[in-house]
Structure 1
Amino acid sequence: MNQYNKLEDEIVYLNQLVDEKEAANMLCYSVRALQNWRHRGGGPKFVKPSSRSVRYRIRDLHEWIESRTVSNTSQAIHELKSK
Structure 2
Amino acid sequence: MGDDLPGKKWLTREEAGEYLGVHHRTLANWAAKGHGPRYSKPSGKSCMYRLADLDAYLEAHLAQVVLTGIMGVAVRHGALTARQHVKRHRILVECGITGVLVPKRTS
TM-score when normalising by structure 2: 0.54
- Answering whether residue 38 of structure 2 is matched by residue 45 of structure 1, we say yes
Partner amino acid, structure 2, of 1:23: A
Aligned residue in 1 for 2:11: 18
Aligned residue in 2 for 1:60: 53
Deviation string for 1:25-80 (max 9, x for gaps)? 0000001100000000220000011112100000000000000011137xx5477x
Whole-angstrom distance in 2 between the partners of 1:62 and 1:56:
10
Report the secondary structure of 1:33's partner residue.
Answer: helix
- Where structure 1 has 5 or more consecutive residues not aligned to the other structure, the ranges are 1-11
TM-score when normalising by structure 1: 0.68
Equivalenced residue count is: 66
Post-superposition offset of 1:13: 3.7
Partner amino acid, structure 2, of 1:53: S
Partner amino acid, structure 2, of 1:22: E
Partner amino acid, structure 1, of 2:60: S
For the pair shown, the structure with the greater C-alpha radius of gyration is 2
CA contact (8 A) 1:48 1:55 kept: yes
Report the secondary structure of 1:32's partner residue.
Answer: helix
Percent identical among aligned pairs is: 31
Pairwise CA RMSD of aligned residues?
2.5
Kindly report structure 1 stretches of 4+ aligned residues shifted beyond 4 Å: none
